Amino acid sequence: RLSDEDAGVAHAQIALRSKELPATPVRRSSAHEAVRLSCAEKVEQLCSSHATQPPWVAMAHAQRLELHLRQRGFAIQHVPTDNNCQFHALADQLDQVGFCSLTALALREMVVEWLKNNSDRPMDDGALGTLFVLKDSIGVADWTRYLAEMALHSETWGDEATLLATSVLFGCEICVISSLSDEYCHVIKPPDSWNVEMGARIFLGHLAEYHYVSTRPL
């Protein structure tokens, strides 16, 4: 069993390895939490939770995301709020850079299959003394249940593992620009020990914890 210190180092090997700030928070499957709300309901909740605040507070996250993207030369490209937003946004970006044209459903199926086939893939080179594998890095107690739930289209949100899988499958770095602050931007890519060649970089926007969008260059 890894010590707390070693476990912390091992967790740093997971694909959400920020080049600037910690990983963007994402909504997980019910293996992580019991309550499920649609993306639209979540976004509405985000705004309504500030109903007693000045009007500008309610739209703060949406406005900040728009600003943060514009500062980096991008505009929001909206995708459906149907619990598949991460997959819609990823599919749109993959199409934009010429990798392939996929539906959100087809991409989800590919990603879940990759996660299933790579469950025991080491996240590092074993330098810590104990190999830390993919399924242990996601933070779920029941990996089989996690995979089954992640396969449920229009129900389960994508998370850091699905971003990692997409990065590996298509050899692309995934840059997530968040509404949280103007410096909150991080790049998802596989651990160096996997030796996966990165051929492109794609850009997603992330509204607080609730919704992904695709982007377009200004």
DSSP states along 40-67: HHHHHHHHHTTTTS-HHHHTHHHHHHHH
So what's the pLDDT on residue 50?
A: 41
Tokens standing for residue 74: 């991008």
Helix (H) or strand (E) holding 106: helix 104-117
- Look at residues 116, 171, 125 and name the one whose alpha carbon lies nearest to residue 146: 116
Find the radius of gyration of the CA atoms of the chain. Answer: 17
| Angstrom distance (rounded) from CA 15 to CA 44 | 30
Q: Which backbone phi and psi does 91 adopt, to 5 degrees?
A: -60, -40
Planar angle of CA 179, 92, 187, nearest 5 degrees: 45
Please tell me the predicted confidence (pLDDT) of residue 218: 95
How is residue 192 annotated by DSSP? G
Phi/psi-derived region of residue 89, left when phi > 0, alpha when psi is between -120 and 50, beta in every other case: alpha
The 8-class DSSP code of residue 29 comes to -
| pLDDT value of residue 59 | 64
Angle at 69 between CA 63 and CA 75, to 5 degrees: 90
Number of structural domains found in the chain: 1
pLDDT at 198: 94
3-state helix, strand, coil in the chain (%, to 5): 40, 15, 45
Q: Which residue range forms the structural domain that includes residue 172?
A: 4-217
Per-residue pLDDT tens digits of the chain, which is 218 residues long:
434 444 333 333 333 333 333 333 334 455 544 334 454 555 555 445 444 444 444 367 788 889 889 999 999 999 999 999 999 999 999 999 988 899 999 999 999 999 999 999 998 876 666 778 999 988 889 999 999 999 999 999 999 999 999 999 999 999 999 888 767 788 999 999 899 999 999 999 998 778 999 999 99
Domain CATH for 23 = 3.90.70.80
Largest Cα–Cα distance of the chain, in whole Å? 54
